[in-house]
């Protein structure tokens, strides 16, 4: 059986993202989103989510390329002079692993983000992390430990199988193979840890190799080549650019991704291909969406 979760990330990062996610849910195939609780437009995102009872919302932990929820003075080893997290993912990961003081501040920040999510009153559907930082063993361990106090039951596993990914797109075969092989040791370790912790996770994810380029043709390709099991397709839709966007995001084709999520041909392909839409929370509860 082919089951599919369609997610929009970075909910709360800007009004234009929030608007696109709302419209992609109301008029398209998006059923799930991941909330940045410390994002500049988080309050607007929460207000919108409260008016969409069937939108599944999870926590998008931000530990790099953003700002903390805690005051910078409480997490000085996590931020720079401007109070911002590092944009150097490898350097940040090394510090997370080797410095006990950094780990203590990291745990405090993760708890603060869970706490702020709880304060929204929204049901916690799942948790993942910005730039997939929950792949880091230290981050995953802290996320599971802290999350146990907040009802965490489901986590994104960012495994994009290179063969299905290449068949769907027809390009970048070597890049897709390299990314799959590079992440395989961490993915195997994390899958075991998630299973031991009783977490629900997806089998596959699509969108990692095509971040910011999930247009209509790519979505149709992924749907046509979706493997059996639980797949998550995630996108970054927006109705337009916004102030303060990350440098990496400047190349994203936000409008194309938004258009793809609301495209009638894409929507019609899901039942035609025998794909069942679901959500992390439904899987965790053992209930079909």
3-class SS string, the chain: CEEEEEEEEEECCCHHHHHHHHHHHHHCCCCEEEECCCCCCHHHHHHHHHCCCCCEEEEEECCCCCCCCCCHHHCCCCECCCCCECCCHHHHHHHHHHCHHHHHHHHHHHHHHHHHHHHHCCCCCCEEEHHHHHHCHHHHHHHHHHHHHHCCCEECCCCCCHHHHHHHHCCCHHHHHHHHHHHHHHHHHHHHHHHHCCCEECCEEECCCCCCCCCHHHHHHHHHCCCCEEEEEEECCCCCCCCCCCHHHHHCCHHHHHHHHCCHHHHHHHHHCCEEECCHHHHHHCCCC
Q: Is the dihedral of CA 283, 154, 209, 19 positive or negative?
A: positive
Regarding beta strands 229-235 and 154-155, do their DSSP bridges make them parallel or antiparallel, or are they unpaired? unpaired
Instruction: Say how far apart CA 112 and CA 276 lie, in whole Å.
Output: 35
Instruction: Say how far apart CA 187 and CA 182 lie, in whole Å.
Output: 10
Res 242: pLDDT: 82
Query: What is the pLDDT tens value at each position of the chain, 289 positions in all?
Result: 999 999 999 999 999 999 999 999 999 999 999 999 999 999 999 999 999 999 999 999 999 999 999 999 999 999 999 999 999 999 999 999 989 999 999 999 999 999 999 999 999 999 999 999 999 999 999 999 999 999 999 999 999 999 999 999 999 999 999 999 999 999 999 999 999 999 999 999 999 999 999 999 999 999 999 999 999 999 999 999 888 777 777 789 999 999 999 999 999 999 999 999 999 999 998 744 4
- Complete domains list, the chain, with CATH: 2-285 (3.20.20.370)
Contact yes or no for 154/200 (Cβ under 8 A)? yes
Q: How many CA atoms lie within 13 A of 46 on its CB side?
A: 18
Res 251: pLDDT: 84
Res 35: pLDDT: 99
Instruction: Say how far apart CA 28 and CA 267 lie, in whole Å.
Output: 7
Res 48: pLDDT: 99
């Amino acid at each position: 059986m082919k089951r599919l979760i369609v997610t929009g990330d970075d909910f709360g990062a800007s009004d234009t993202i929030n608007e696109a996610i709302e419209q992609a849910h109301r008029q398209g195939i998006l059923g799930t989103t991941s909330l940045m609780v410390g994002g500049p437009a988080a309050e607007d995102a929460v207000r919108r989510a409260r008016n969409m009872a069937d939108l599944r919302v999870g926590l998008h932990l931000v530990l790099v390329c953003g700002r903390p929820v805690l005051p910078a003075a409480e997490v000085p080893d996590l931020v720079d002079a401007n109070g911002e997290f590092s944009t150097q993912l490898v350097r940040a990961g090394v510090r997370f692993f080797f410095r006990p003081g950094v780990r203590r501040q990291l745990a405090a920040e993760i708890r603060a983000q869970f706490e702020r999510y709880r304060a929204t009153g929204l049901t916690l559907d799942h948790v993942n992390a910005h730039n997939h930082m929950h792949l880091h063993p230290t981050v995953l361990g802290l996320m599971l430990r802290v999350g146990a106090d907040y009802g965490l039951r489901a986590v994104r596993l960012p495994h994009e199988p290179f063969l299905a990914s290449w068949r769907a797109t027809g390009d970048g075969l070597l890049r897709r193979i390299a990314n799959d092989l590079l992440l395989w040791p961490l993915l195997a370790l994390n899958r075991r840890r998630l299973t031991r912790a009783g977490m629900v996770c997806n089998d596959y994810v699509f969108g990692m190799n095509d971040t910011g380029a999930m247009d209509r043709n790519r979505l149709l390709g992924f749907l046509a080549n979706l493997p059996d099991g639980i797949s998550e397709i995630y996108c970054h839709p927006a109705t337009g650019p916004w102030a303060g966007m990350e440098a990496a995001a400047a190349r994203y084709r936000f409008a194309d991704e938004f258009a793809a999520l609301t495209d009638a041909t894409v929507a019609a392909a899901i039942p035609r291909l025998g794909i069942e839409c679901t959500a992390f929370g439904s899987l965790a509860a053992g209930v079909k969406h």
